[in-house]
């Protein structure tokens, strides 16, 4: 297939595909799916071998968020019956993190609901970061606390935060459809603040919210322009009690095509399989390992994930290996200061930046699968904020 051959060649050269090529990946048929996975897998192996980085989420503060993001079970007005609790103490957060580290996690992601942290919150999280680092040698810590104010990114970095996560989630054109309490530019600004403070930027998307193929390509190209070190790909978990509870647009095949498209656009970036993989990929999760080089271990913020031991077995059975703390995730050219030269395929050098809706017609939103697996949406009832041991 000429398209896939061209995309592999570009991926091996770290060259950005055109917008039309990215759209064409999403438009491939189910009959072509294994060819798409095999092609994107070549790019994944070129830059990351067969290593899989494990990440572990600790929800520091759950629920009662004043923002109205439609996809979120913690949003303002959510009727989802999730765990609700205020800030975990540093020692409690460290104990939760230790479970993930014991399961093989290399990075601990500290997340708190809310629009953004107060200075007191930053001080509290800084103590948590220090505690985790003191008790777990070699572990990376990523903070995800919402929109940052001036100076907060620097203080988090000084406290030991290696990375900061803030997702773009969807295209700029459709962002107002999923959130009205802040806008797309706020999210871009926070990612840029984290980068300016010296932290590794982590920013990704949520697929399955009713967006078109053009929207998916828009947000992935925007992410490539921001140049984060890691791109988490979430698949919407349609929680009952949220505005998007009836959005079931994904099939395992479509989810794999989305991951392949992200890999082609971000060939040498850590692509992380994140929330919703169990719900939408189901038994095809092992195929996704040929596309991504990073996953979350065990449970998520408010939903339960696959058992940690099953994640490890899946990785081994598929012929991959867990990345150790003594291994640097990113390829050397990215560790040396990012892409830089024109051969990196940045938007300016290729002339193929996300050009808006006129660049290609918007695809029709696929119809929901005939049988949605609503039984796989399970609210987290263990781990942080409970007396039960975490899943790791």
pLDDT digits (tens, 9 = 90+) for 208-229: 999 999 999 999 999 999 999 9
| Per-residue b or e along 32-45, where b marks 16 or more CB atoms closer than 10 Å to that residue's CB | bbeebbebbbbbbe
pLDDT at 357 over 90: no
pLDDT at 34 over 90: yes
344 among known catalytic residues:
no
At 148-186, the pLDDT tens digits run 999 999 999 999 999 999 999 999 999 999 999 999 999
pLDDT at 323 over 80: yes
Would you list which residues are annotated within the binding site?
A: 65, 69, 72, 109, 142, 202, 272
**The pLDDT of residue 351:** 33
The tokens 């399970």 sit on which residue? 378
Q: Catalytic: which of 19, 75, 107, 109?
A: 109
Give the span between the Cα atoms of 191 and 45, in whole angstroms: 27
Query: Is 354 within the bounds of a domain?
Result: no
pLDDT at 361 over 50: no
Would you list which residues are annotated within the binding site for [4Fe-4S] cluster?
A: 65, 69, 72
Query: Is 349 within the bounds of a domain?
Result: no
Domain CATH code at residue 114? 3.20.20.70
Would you list which residues are annotated within the binding site for [2Fe-2S] cluster?
A: 109, 142, 202, 272
Query: Is 384 within the bounds of a domain?
Result: no
pLDDT at 367 over 80: no
Query: Is 352 within the bounds of a domain?
Result: no
**The pLDDT of residue 368:** 53
Query: Is 263 within the bounds of a domain?
Result: yes
Which region among 284-293, 319-328, 366-375 has the lowest average model confidence (pLDDT)?
366-375
Q: How many domains does the chain have?
A: 1
Rounded percentage of the chain residues whose pLDDT exceeds 90: 75
pLDDT at 345 over 90: no
**The pLDDT of residue 24:** 98
**The pLDDT of residue 391:** 79
Q: Catalytic: which of 14, 44, 72, 339?
A: 72
**The pLDDT of residue 378:** 76
Q: Catalytic: which of 44, 65, 266, 277?
A: 65
**The pLDDT of residue 370:** 55
**The pLDDT of residue 336:** 56
List own/partner pairs for 319-325 with CB under 8 A and 24 or more apart: 319/50, 320/50, 320/51, 320/52, 320/289, 321/50, 321/51, 321/52, 322/51, 322/52, 322/54, 322/104, 323/51, 323/52, 323/53, 323/54, 323/106, 324/106, 325/106, 325/137, 325/138, 325/139
Query: Is 390 within the bounds of a domain?
Result: no
Query: Across all residues in the chain, what is the average pLDDT?
Result: 89
Confidence (pTM):
0.88
69 among known catalytic residues:
yes
264: domain range? 2-324+372-376
Q: Catalytic: which of 14, 107, 124, 142?
A: 142
Give the span between the Cα atoms of 81 and 89, in whole angstroms: 23
Q: Catalytic: which of 14, 44, 69, 354?
A: 69
339 among known catalytic residues:
no
pLDDT level of residue 20 (50, 70, 90 thresholds): very high
Give the span between the Cα atoms of 9 and 377, in whole angstroms: 39
């Amino acid at each position: 297939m000429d398209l896939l051959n061209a995309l592999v060649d570009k991926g091996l050269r770290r060259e950005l595909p055109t917008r039309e090529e990215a759209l064409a990946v999403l438009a491939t048929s189910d009959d072509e799916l294994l060819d798409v996975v095999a092609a994107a897998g070549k790019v994944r192996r070129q830059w990351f071998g067969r290593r899989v980085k494990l990440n572990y989420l600790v929800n520091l503060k759950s629920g009662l968020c004043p923002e109205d993001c439609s996809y979120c079970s913690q949003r303002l007005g959510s009727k989802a019956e999730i765990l609700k609790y205020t800030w975990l103490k540093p020692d409690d957060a460290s104990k939760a993190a230790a479970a993930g580290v014991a399961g093989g996690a290399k990075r601990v992601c500290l997340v708190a609901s809310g629009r953004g942290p107060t200075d007191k919150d930053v001080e509290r999280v800084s103590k948590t970061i220090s505690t985790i680092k003191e008790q777990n040698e070699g572990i990376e810590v990523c903070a995800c606390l919402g929109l940052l104010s001036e100076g907060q990114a620097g203080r988090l970095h000084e406290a030991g935060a290696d990375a900061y996560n803030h997702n773009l989630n969807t295209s700029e054109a459709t962002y107002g459809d999923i959130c009205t309490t802040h806008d797309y530019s706020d999210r871009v600004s926070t990612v840029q603040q984290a980068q300016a403070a010296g932290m590794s930027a982590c920013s990704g998307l949520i697929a399955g919210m009713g967006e078109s193929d053009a929207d998916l390509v828009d947000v992935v190209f925007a992410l490539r322009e921001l140049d984060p070190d890691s791109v988490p790909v979430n698949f919407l978990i349609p929680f009952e009690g949220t505005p998007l509870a009836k959005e079931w647009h994904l099939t395992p095949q479509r989810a794999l095509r989305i991951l392949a498209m992200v890999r082609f656009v971000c060939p040498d970036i850590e692509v992380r399989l994140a929330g919703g993989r169990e719900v939408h990929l189901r038994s095809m999760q092992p195929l996704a390992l040929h596309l991504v080089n990073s996953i979350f271990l065990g449970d998520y913020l408010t939903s339960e994930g696959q058992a940690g031991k099953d994640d490890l077995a899946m990785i081994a059975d598929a012929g991959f290996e867990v990345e150790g703390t003594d291994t640097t995730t990113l390829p050397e050219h990215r560790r040396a200061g990012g892409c830089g030269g024109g051969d990196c395929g940045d938007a300016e050098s290729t002339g193929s930046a996300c050009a808006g809706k006129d660049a290609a017609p918007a695809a029709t939103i696929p119809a929901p699968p005939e049988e949605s697996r609503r039984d796989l949406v399970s609210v987290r009832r263990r781990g942080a904020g409970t007396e039960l041991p975490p899943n790791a």
